[in-house]
Structure 1
Amino acid sequence: MKHSPTSIIGNTLKWILLISLLALALLPLLWLLVSSLRTNLELQTDPFGWPQKFQWVNYANALAMASLPRLLLNSVFVAVVTVVLNSLVTSMGSFILAREHFKGRDVIYTILTAGVLVPVISFMVPYFSMITRSGLYNTLLALILVYTAVNIPVSIFLVTAFMKSIPKELEEAAIMDGCGFFKRFSMIILPLSRSGIVTAATFCFIYSWNEFVMAMLLTSSVESRTIQLGIKFFSSQFITDYSSMYAAVIITIIPSILGYVFLHDKIIGGLTTGGVKG
């Protein structure tokens, strides 16, 4: 089959654009990885050069210098508990908004999802005031509650759209078989909404893992801080250990990448299903 010159040019431009976008996404990560294996002197003299010898010791230094193992455990605990709590709250709320009919339902849904449009930084003063007055300042529980609340609008939007796509006939058949309100939720809607919930949970995990501003605002000690705050320990008034800092950054982004690699099918499925049928 012969292709016209126009289609050949179009395909060529398409691939050039795609490769360029891929390079823009990957090159900074590759530079960061290579830089994490160089010495500080090499970075200062030739920032874009190749290391004369791979400095794997930078990763050992990163783990030792910034109390990274403790911060890593804190981040894992905060992210996992936040995801569980957020998924529990939003799945129940989304079930009501998607499957039940009552006066004011659309108003409640609009109010909840409108939080997506509000910048998170605008919540700094209210959250700080609430956390300090409740005695939760400098605790992991404070971060868990704040991260759960911040992610509710996005999770409600995604999970509600997915639950609306489930055929009503399944629920009607369950009602005829004697399923009550709780059984309809736990045995019918919840299992069928796994892809949507996983999608929302993944976004919630990524936010909780990478968040810096609220963690800096609501904590003040290593015992209750997360791994993102450990990056600043590599910078002092007189010197910055860039090599170990870059190694620490690589360590912090690995969980997010692995999470997406293993769950990308469910994430894409949840987004497309909710977007097309919701």
Structure 2
Amino acid sequence: MHGPPPAGARLQRSSGQGRLAVRRADGRTRLAGLYQEGAQKIRLPRPLGRRDLEAVLINTAGGLTGGDRLCWSVEAAAGSALTVTSQACEKVYRSLGDSARVTSRLALGPGARLCWLPQETILFDGSRLDRRLSAEMAPDAELLIVEATLFGRAARGETVAAGAFRDRWDVACAGVPLHVEAVRLDGAPQALLDRQAVAAGRTALATVLRVAPQAAADLDAARALVHDAERAVPGLAGGVSAWRVGPTGKLLARLTAQDGHALRRGLVPLMRLLAGEAGVPRMWAL
């Protein structure tokens, strides 16, 4: 049977929670707490020879659609080091009206290092996604956030002519807001992306935020990487800036590209630089 469901039909929706906490003990990062519910799973494959942990987030539902609700919570206690990634790209399918909602909450104790590096989110035509990320961190903690979003798959000729995408970040240090941003593309995302001041027709977007006392030290190297990528990858464009904010600093990069492959060519070297000894998660190479 095809077409919309009968009026009043109750549709099955995906929901879940995943909570992860780590601490430093005996000179390395160890698991302190793990909770999984519903469609959300967390796996911890420990790379050989490393003292930090790598966590892989899994949505067993295989994607998101209108009405789905997922919530991730990650806590890195004092002195711990954790990298979080996803098993695969998250796909957001056509909605019948409601938005899929994904909430991520991050907490970093003194001296903690957390890299939040999920693989790309792919939006399909008619999809609706409300994504929110919040982080609270100590002044000497280090945080790297990368979020990449693809509006359709260019290789298959897909566009997102209709739908909605809302993305909000709230990052605070010792209770003081240091990075707040909100993106809203409602109604006709492709038409908005076509505007010169938005994405100039590019459909693959990424935001990279590093918060650390020494974040500005990577500014020149990050700009050089983006410049080299712009020369090597047709249609790729980006920019990097850095500021001192209260007791810490932040570096912010934006990249846009014609497709996901081009975006990765610019994004992965930048991730490798900013992640430092944590490196790029192995899942990004699969």
- What TM-score comes out, normalization by structure 1 length? 0.26
Larger radius of gyration: 1
Structure richer in helix, relative to its length: 1
Identify the structure with the greater strand proportion.
2
Q: Greater relative contact order: 1 or 2 (C-alpha under 8 angstroms, separation 6 or more)?
A: 1
